[in-house]
Amino acid sequence: MDSVIKSRNHSDKKLVDYVQVVNAATAFLTRKRNRLATEKWFGRWKVRQMELRKRKFAMHIAVRHHRKTMTQKAILGWHSEAGVTWRKATENRIRMEAEKHMQTMSAEYESRIAQLSKKLNKTQMQLHLSIEKQHIQQEDMKRSFLRGVCALNMETMGIFRQDEMHCSESVQKQLNYPITNMTVECNQSSKPTVRFISDTAAVPDIACETLAKETTDCISSRTRGLVTRHYN
């Protein structure tokens, strides 16, 4: 009996130990299962969140791309439709303003050119008048110079005639010989000389030489004084 009881107690104890081991294993397995389940759920949640973020980012990129393409299309349409008319309008306006400025500038330049042409014509007329006056003055000076030269020649001729008359009278008085003709020759380089020409006979050489010398000195002194008085 005692052995049976001991074996029974020993078997009960083994059964209790086996149950404890089974309970511990089941508890460990349940904890591990719960942990794996939580990890699996967290992984799925994380993947879902990442997918949501990707979708949000993709939607943001798509919206930006759509807006960009729409703005580009709008700008191209404006340039193709409204931009051409605006550009034409601005070009026409700028062209009109430029034409107005060109007209005003051309009018100013034409007025300046007209004024300068008037001044040029006036100066040319004054120049022609001054040239004509200068020619007239030169002609007057030439005429006055010629008149002075003629007067000087007339005066010298009168002096020569007086000298001829005086010389002829002195020769007739000294020699009591008639002299029909007497000429006075003037050279450019020497003093004026007197030459007596007789129709009948020759005058003695000594008397003619003395008379010619006196007459030449007299004429040269008188003409020198006359020219000096004229130019002074």
Query: 184 forms bridges with which residues in the sheet?
Result: 194
Res 141: pLDDT: 87
Number of Cβ within 10 Å of residue 184's Cβ equals 18
Which residues have C-beta within 8 Å of that of residue 184, sequence separation ≥ 6? Answer: 160, 163, 164, 192, 193, 194, 195, 215, 219
> Quick one: which H or E segment has residue 40?
helix 2-78
DSSP string spanning 189-219? SS--EEEEE-SSSPPPHHHHHHHHHHHHHHH
pTM: 0.32
Res 204: pLDDT: 45
Res 210: pLDDT: 55
Query: pLDDT digit of tens for each residue in the chain (232 aa)?
Result: 566 666 666 677 777 778 888 888 888 999 999 999 999 999 899 999 999 999 999 999 999 999 999 999 888 887 777 767 777 888 888 999 999 999 999 999 999 999 999 999 999 999 999 999 888 988 888 888 888 888 888 877 877 776 666 666 665 665 554 444 444 444 444 444 444 444 444 444 444 555 555 555 554 554 444 444 444 4
Res 118: pLDDT: 92
Res 188: pLDDT: 40
Res 174: pLDDT: 57
Catalogue the E-assigned strands of the chain. Answer: 181-185, 193-197
